[in-house]
Amino acid sequence: MADSPSPTIAVPPPTALPAGRPAALPENPFAEGIRNRRVVEPCVIVLFGATGDLTHRKLLPALYNLARDGLLPQHVAIVGLARREKTDESFRQDLIEGLKRSSRSFSEADPLWQRFKSAIFYHPASFEESLGYRVLGERLERLDKELGTEGNRLFYLATGPEYFSPIVRLLGEAGLARPQEGPNSGAGPAAPAGPPGSRKRPWVRVVVEKPFGRDLPSAIGLNRELLAVLEESQIYRIDHYLGKETVQNILAFRFSNGIFEPLWNHKYIDHVQITVAEDLGVGSRGPYYDSSGALRDMVQNHMLQLLALVAMEPPVSMEADAVRDEKVKVLRALRPMTPEEVLRSAIRGQYAAGSILGEPVRAYRDEDRVPKDSATPTYVALRLHIDNWRWAGVPFYLRHGKRLPRRATEIAIQFHTPPMRLFGEASAPAASPNVLILNIQPDEGISLCFGSKVPGPDVRIRQVKMDFRYGHSFGVASPDAYERLLLDAIAGDSTLFTRRDEVEYAWKFVNPLLETWAAEGSRGLHFYPAGTWGPESADRLFEGAGGHWRRM
């Protein structure tokens, strides 16, 4: 194993402000946390599962982009840990293709890459053998001394979920789950600087990827196992959807604009639709996906998080726990589903053979390593209710599916229609409702649909759209979600990471659906041709309430 000392990463300073641009934004009470959380201290980042797809496609490109933008601490080391035998240099070479594909700006000839790669190391070890952790601890101590990383450690578990608990347990047994000196300060943001010459207390944080459990009992068990070694405030359960720029903008849009917040309740909103559509199938993930399905893979985590952000009350501040407290209240207020209600208000489907963009697509049951009689849903549509004062009587419709016509994620807030037809005869079509659309991907932005008079002597109302797009308005591409989340973890800001009670309340809501569908087997599984918007039976969720699924 190569183990040569290397210089620190000399990252470029942040870009200077253009001439004439104000040095600071106007005061905003919700911006205080944003300013304060950007304290990033020297650290070692240890990536478990370093030879896997996530590290190559997302994590290392995100860290490189942060270095490019001058956001990483100057004294930083990145240690990849996996079972394969590699040297530091061969691991660095292996990363290049992923950086070329996924980084916003990467070139092997760039001096930044030459400096960046010198702080990347590889540590071969089994996830389940204690010896590798003891050797890792010795190596981290040497890196602290050589690179000035001050004992701060961020462990990122980019592994299968079966390794989460063993890795944390062995980190604890090796003495790596707690700071090596002074009281534990891994709980949260870096402590304020002391007097000149004083040494800050080190921290230890652990980032845990999804899936966080398969159901409520397993999620509770995993939480219990992690908390036997770590403090809750050391655990960063990552949901990459929360790092997307438009998802973050939900709170800014709601709570920094006085126009919409007074209307954000049952008096003015008819219903809310949240759609996560994917045109891809399961690819090479057949065995994993067949044991998971659409409900576990997308709804329990990403979609319920989106719902919580849309429906939450204003937090008292933008501190992490203040925001997460309000999200938990939403999850607690979700109306539980009985088995009878599951059959009425939840639709599951599976894609059959079809075509997308003129190309033939095979059925889910014909995908590689998928059982021919699989009852795993690739499509889920739900009608939910939040039993609290703000949302009483407002249905929330969630749908997610694979092999739909296009890739798109949006939140659509549909307002009540006007109470009278003032324009046109009584027999004329009713006025179209106003719809506010938050586009999460791929065209990040916000749109507002409203009625306007068509030019001419007759009074004719037509729906028009007012559009805001991130790329057009700010002139730069949105950073990848992992950039924001990795930076927050380094800075000790857990706002965009899910807390223990969030995970458990989400599973508590989802569990009755899992149990009912497991008992039903293939009964009630609706098939839809690939390239369509899911089974027609999903339309029945709007019966009695009016409305329909949006065309996207």
pLDDT of residue 199 exceeding 90: no
Comparing 16-20, 386-390, 446-450, the range with the smallest average pLDDT is: 16-20
Confidence of residue 475 (pLDDT cuts 50, 70, 90): low
Q: Residue 14 — very low, low, confident or very high, per pLDDT cuts 50/70/90?
A: very low
Is pLDDT above 60 for 33? no
Burial of 474 (0-12, 13-18, 19+ CB in 10 A): exposed
12 or 405: which leads in pLDDT: 405
- pLDDT band of residue 450 (cuts 50, 70, 90) is confident
Q: Give CA–CA dist 474/68, Å, rounded.
A: 19
Confidence class of residue 245 from pLDDT cuts 50, 70 and 90? Answer: confident
pLDDT at 472: 73
> So what's the pLDDT on residue 354?
97
Average pLDDT over residues 311-315: 96
pLDDT confidence band for 324 (50 / 70 / 90): very high
Q: Which residues contact 17 (CB under 8 A, 6 or more apart)?
A: 23
Listed by start position, the domains of the chain span 30-209, 244-420+499-538
Give the C-alpha separation, 111 to 130, whole Å. Answer: 38
Least confident span in 90-104, 190-204, 462-476: 190-204
What pLDDT is attached to residue 215? 95
Does an H or E element contain 351, and which? Answer: strand 346-352
Instruction: Note the pLDDT tens digit of each residue in 372-395.
Output: 999 999 999 999 999 999 999 999
d(CA 238, CA 482): 9
Residues 271, 302, 385, 416: which is the catalytic one? Answer: 302
Lowest mean pLDDT among 7-16, 214-223, 531-540: 7-16
How far does Cα 360 stand from its chain's mean position? 31
- 23-32, 273-282, 392-401: which has the minimum mean pLDDT? 23-32
**If pLDDT is split at 50, 70 and 90, which confidence band does 429 have?**
low
- The predicted pLDDT at position 327 comes to 97
Please report which confidence band the pLDDT of residue 106 belongs to, taking 50, 70 and 90 as the band edges. Answer: confident
Q: Can you list the alpha helix ranges (DSSP code H) found in 69-126?
A: 88-94, 96-102, 111-117
- Secondary structure of 124-146 as H, E, C letters: ECCCCCHHHHHHHHHHHHHHHHH
In the predicted structure, residue 197 carries a pLDDT above the cut 50? no
Question: In the 8-state DSSP scheme, what is residue 295?
Answer: I
Which runs of consecutive H residues, i.e. helices, occur in 405-499? 470-474, 481-491
Q: Give yes or no for residue 421 having a pLDDT over 70.
A: no
Six-digit token string for 360:
């033939």
Supply the pLDDT for residue 424. 58
pLDDT score of 9 more than 60: no
CATH class in words for 244-420+499-538: alpha beta
Mean pLDDT of 217-239: 97
Mean pLDDT of 475-495: 89
Q: Residue 211, preceding bond cis, omega within 30 degrees?
A: yes
418: CB partners within 8 A, 6+ apart = 431
Question: What is the number of residues in the chain?
Answer: 552
Segment 441-451 shows an average pLDDT of 86
Q: What percent of the chain has pLDDT over 70?
A: 86
Could you tell me which residue, 552 or 62, shows the higher pLDDT? 62
Average pLDDT in the chain: 87
Coil/strand/helix, residue 345: helix
21-30 confidence digits (pLDDT tens): 333 323 322 3
Which is more confident, 14 or 102?
102
Gyration radius of the chain's alpha carbons: 25
Where residue 1 falls among pLDDT bands split at 50, 70, 90? Answer: very low
What pLDDT score was predicted for residue 38?
A: 62
Region 458-478 average pLDDT: 75
Q: Could you tell me the pLDDT band of residue 51, with boundaries at 50, 70 and 90?
A: very high
Q: Quick check: is 123 catalytic?
A: no
> What is the arithmetic mean of pLDDT over 238-242?
92
pLDDT of residue 470: 75
Residue from 413, 479, 469 nearest 446 by CA: 469
Q: Is the pLDDT of residue 292 over 60?
A: yes
In 3D space, the residue among 236, 296, 252, 310 whose CA is nearest the CA of residue 496 turns out to be 236
Reported as a single tens digit per residue, the pLDDT across 157-189 is 999 999 999 999 999 999 999 887 643 334 444
| The CATH homologous superfamily of the domain defined by 30-209 | NAD(P)-binding Rossmann-like Domain (3.40.50.720)
Least confident of 77-86, 419-428, 491-500: 419-428
Q: What is the mean pLDDT of residues 200-228?
A: 95
% residues pLDDT > 90 (the chain):
70
DSSP state string for 160-175: -GGGHHHHHHHHHHTT
